[in-house]
């Protein structure tokens, strides 16, 4: 059955696979397949490690890397984004489930799936409502601060596996105190495995590829082997534990990982559980979407491609729903694996689908080989991965550029480290919105004058300009809305409360894109107040959409002055001798 043109366009809009699938060919298939091999090699140890970070069975990490990739391949718009478990979302998942106080592994797994399902429904709903723009309200410096703090928390939380001890805590202080209290129980063999694996993985990141290239190996082969470094660590340490029976010497291992494809599961429909997980799911959705879109936009720009934020919400939403029904937990687009996917030559989201096949084969065939895998190896994998997220340079940048931004970033970092990840991300969201409201509630208003010999008007405090004592020209550099309407009133009243014989106030509106109802009422109040003082209110350079809205009110009829096409026209009429 052939779809009508509107139906076909609607289908292509919500399923981008119908668009890029038309041009799929053998060359694209080869590029995607090669990228999938590299990402699969990288993703197997990462998936296991992130599941343990989330406090879940290791196999759930593999399950969360199969169906979600297939769902994103159908509904996502990024050609290179690789969806799956990531460090920050895994930490947030651990915090969310930890708040429930559950001890039964089955209940914990159901809660994790339910968390993914709630997040998926939220993201999909936001995408269908075209609310992707809401992510723009989150300050990127604040999010960078949160991710930096999260990286420190994650790395610290994994030290217990490196030392082979027990330690608990959701904040940096709790973790450090717990590690210190149990440090006398350190297992020397576990410590040796953990530290050597960390050192090896750091060396692999920087040193293995140049070494392989120096032997004459082809660049692509060297790239694949370098990305396989974590797999090499997994194989080597697993063999070490098996051959020397290190399990009986206190080395903690992963243990039995069920063999087979992900089971079909259903999320809990318990209203009480949904109520307990709702806020955590919302925070995970926000952070996951912001991180994912940032990565996707960065990679798309390198190939002059574009992503659609609203459709990305749907892509991530369906990916999380897919995770929920296949024994997984919340997922999003990961920075490291997406960059690897991009660098490896992925051309379409089909690379993710091929990666899902690779992970599926691993879950089906390789899981018995993971029984003797040391938890210290997975902890080392996490530590090396997340330390790349830690970037304290954001503090230096914001300090030199904006003290307000610095305060917000520093507060986010301190709150995340001191009170936990959920408090930190909540603070980040609130601070981002607060920063926006603060900055726009105090718009920059410049008194301007005429630059001699031109028709341009500039700030009287920055340029040598011509002014007239009876005219005050104010350039408003922000849209006018409820949060800054009173500020403009106070500014105008303070300016005319002087001995200067002011007779005209001209509001230069070249930067005003919006005037809401509250701002309109403020303009009306300003007009009446100035009228009582014998001062006329004028406006200049009002944009078309703003003018259209003003015409629908009585303000222009009641305004004591005129509306001028340009500021120069206003001065030409009100003070011709000035020109």
In this structure, are residues 251 and 164 in contact, taking their beta carbons and an 8 Å threshold?
A: yes
How many C-beta atoms lie closer than 10 Å to residue 33's C-beta?
Answer: 17
Residue 4's pLDDT is what? 62
Report the alpha-carbon distance of residue 226 to residue 217 in Å, rounded: 12
Q: Which residues contact 160 (CB under 8 A, 6 or more apart)?
A: 166, 167, 178, 179, 182, 379
> Quick check: helix, strand or coil at residue 575?
coil
Report the alpha-carbon distance of residue 502 to residue 105 in Å, rounded: 76
Residue 415's pLDDT is what? 92
Q: Which residues contact 404 (CB under 8 A, 6 or more apart)?
A: 435, 438, 439
Report the alpha-carbon distance of residue 506 to residue 540 in Å, rounded: 7
Per-residue pLDDT of the chain (579 residues; tens, 9 = 90+): 455 656 777 777 788 888 888 889 988 998 899 888 888 887 888 899 999 899 999 999 999 999 999 999 999 999 889 999 998 899 999 999 999 989 899 999 999 999 999 999 999 999 999 988 777 777 788 888 888 998 899 999 999 999 999 888 889 999 999 999 999 999 999 999 999 999 999 998 888 888 888 888 888 778 777 777 788 899 999 999 999 999 999 999 998 889 888 999 999 999 999 999 999 999 999 889 988 888 888 888 787 778 888 999 999 999 999 999 999 999 999 877 888 788 778 899 999 999 999 999 999 988 898 899 999 999 998 898 888 888 888 899 999 998 888 988 999 999 999 998 888 888 888 888 888 888 888 889 999 999 998 999 999 999 999 999 999 999 999 999 999 999 999 999 999 887 678 999 999 999 999 999 999 999 999 999 999 999 999 999 999 999 999 999 999 999 999 999 999 999 999 988 776
Cα of 99 vs its chain's centroid, Å? 24
Report the alpha-carbon distance of residue 360 to residue 352 in Å, rounded: 12
Report the alpha-carbon distance of residue 456 to residue 451 in Å, rounded: 6
Name all contacts of 42-45 with Cβ < 8 Å and 24+ positions apart. Answer: 42/227, 42/228, 42/230, 42/231, 42/336, 42/337, 42/340, 43/82, 43/84, 43/337, 43/355, 43/359, 44/231, 44/234, 44/359, 44/362, 44/366, 45/230, 45/231, 45/233, 45/234, 45/377, 45/378, 45/381
Q: How many residues does the chain have?
A: 579
Residue 2's pLDDT is what? 57
Residue 3's pLDDT is what? 56
Report the alpha-carbon distance of residue 26 to residue 344 in Å, rounded: 17
The CATH 3.30.750.24 portion of the chain extends over 445-578
Report the alpha-carbon distance of residue 189 to residue 205 in Å, rounded: 24
In this structure, are residues 515 and 476 in contact, taking their beta carbons and an 8 Å threshold?
A: no
- pTM over 0.95, yes/no: no
Structure tokens at 121: 């429904």
In this structure, are residues 257 and 233 in contact, taking their beta carbons and an 8 Å threshold?
A: no
Buried (b) or exposed (e) across 481-503, using 16+ Cβ within 10 A? bebbbebbbebbeeeeeeeeebb
What CATH number belongs to 445-578?
3.30.750.24
The 3-state secondary structure of 459-480 reads ECCCCCCECCCCEEEEEECCCE
The DSSP result for 322-359, as a single string, is HHHTTT----EE-HHHHHHHHHTT--STHHHHHHHHHH
- What is the phi/psi pair of residue 497, to 5°? -85, 70
Nearest Cα to Cα of residue 69 among 40, 108, 29: 40
Structure tokens at 535: 């001062």
In this structure, are residues 318 and 328 in contact, taking their beta carbons and an 8 Å threshold?
A: no
Q: Which residues contact 5 (CB under 8 A, 6 or more apart)?
A: none
Report the alpha-carbon distance of residue 484 to residue 487 in Å, rounded: 5
445 - beta bridge partners?
476
Buried (b) or exposed (e) across 43-69, using 16+ Cβ within 10 A? bbbbbbbbbbbbbbbbbbbbbbbbbbb
How many C-beta atoms lie closer than 10 Å to residue 517's C-beta?
Answer: 12
What's the N-to-C CA distance of the chain in angstroms? 73
Nearest Cα to Cα of residue 358 among 42, 71, 147: 42
Residue with tokens 């206003």: 570
Report the alpha-carbon distance of residue 252 to residue 186 in Å, rounded: 12
């Amino acid at each position: 059955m052939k779809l009508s043109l509107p139906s076909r366009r609607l289908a292509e809009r919500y399923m981008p696979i119908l668009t890029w699938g038309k041009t799929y060919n053998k060359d694209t298939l080869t590029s995607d397949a090669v990228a999938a091999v590299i990402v699969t090699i990288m993703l197997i140890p990462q998936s296991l490690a992130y599941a343990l970070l989330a406090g879940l069975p290791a196999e759930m990490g593999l399950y969360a890397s199969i169906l979600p990739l297939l769902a994103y391949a159908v509904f996502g718009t990024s050609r290179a984004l690789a969806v799956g478990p990531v460090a920050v979302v895994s930490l947030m998942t651990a915090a969310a489930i930890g708040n429930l106080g559950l001890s039964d592994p089955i209940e914990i797994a159901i809660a994790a799936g339910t968390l993914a399902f709630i997040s998926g429904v939220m993201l999909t709903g936001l995408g269908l409502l075209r609310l992707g723009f809401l992510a723009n309200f989150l300050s990127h410096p604040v999010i960078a601060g949160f991710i930096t703090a999260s990286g420190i928390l994650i790395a610290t939380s994994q030290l217990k596996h490196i030392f082979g001890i027990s330690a608990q805590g959701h904040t940096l202080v709790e973790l450090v105190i717990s590690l210190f209290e149990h440090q006398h129980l350190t297992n020397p063999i576990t410590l040796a495995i953990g530290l050597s694996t960390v050192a090896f993985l750091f060396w692999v990141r920087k040193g293995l590829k140049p070494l392989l290239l120096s032997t004459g190996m082809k660049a692509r082969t060297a790239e694949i082997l370098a990305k396989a470094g974590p797999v090499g660590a997994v194989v080597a340490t697993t063999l070490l534990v098996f051959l020397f029976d290190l399990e009986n010497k206190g080395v903690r291992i992963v243990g039995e990982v069920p063999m087979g494809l992900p089971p079909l599961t259903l999320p809990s429909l318990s209203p009480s559980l949904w109520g307990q997980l709702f806020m955590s799911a919302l925070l995970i959705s926000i952070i996951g979407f912001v991180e994912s879109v940032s990565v996707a936009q960065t990679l798309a720009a390198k190939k002059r491609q574009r992503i659609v934020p609203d459709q990305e919400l749907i892509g991530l939403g369906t990916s999380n729903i897919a995770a929920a029904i296949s024994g997984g937990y919340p997922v999003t687009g990961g920075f490291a694996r997406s960059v690897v996917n991009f660098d490896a030559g992925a051309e379409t989201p089909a690379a993710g689908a091929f990666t899902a096949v690779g992970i599926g084969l691993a879950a089906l065939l390789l899981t018995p080989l993971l029984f003797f895998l040391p938890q210290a190896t997975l902890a080392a994998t996490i530590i090396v991965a997340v330390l790349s997220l830690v970037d304290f340079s954001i503090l230096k940048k914001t300090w030199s550029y904006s003290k307000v931004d610095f305060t917000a970033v520093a507060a986010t970092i301190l709150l995340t480290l001191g009170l936990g990840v959920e408090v930190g991300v909540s603070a980040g969201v609130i601070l981002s919105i607060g920063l926006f409201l603060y900055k726009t509630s105090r718009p920059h208003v410049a008194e301007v004058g005429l630059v001699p010999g031109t028709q341009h008007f500039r700030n009287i405090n920055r340029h040598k300009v011509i002014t007239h004592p009876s005219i005050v020209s104010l350039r408003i550099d922000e849209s006018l809305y409820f949060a800054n309407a009173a500020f403009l009133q106070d500014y105008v009243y303070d300016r005319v409360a002087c001995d200067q014989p002011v007779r005209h106030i001209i509001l230069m509106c070249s930067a005003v894109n919006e005037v809401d109802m509250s701002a309109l009422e403020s303009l009306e109040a300003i007009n009446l107040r100035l009228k009582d003082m014998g001062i006329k209110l004028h406006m200049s350079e009002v944009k078309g959409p703003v003018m259209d809205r003003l015409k629908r009110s009585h303000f222009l009829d009641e305004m004591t002055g005129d509306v001028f096409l340009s500021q120069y026209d206003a001065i030409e009429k009100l003070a011709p001798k000035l020109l």
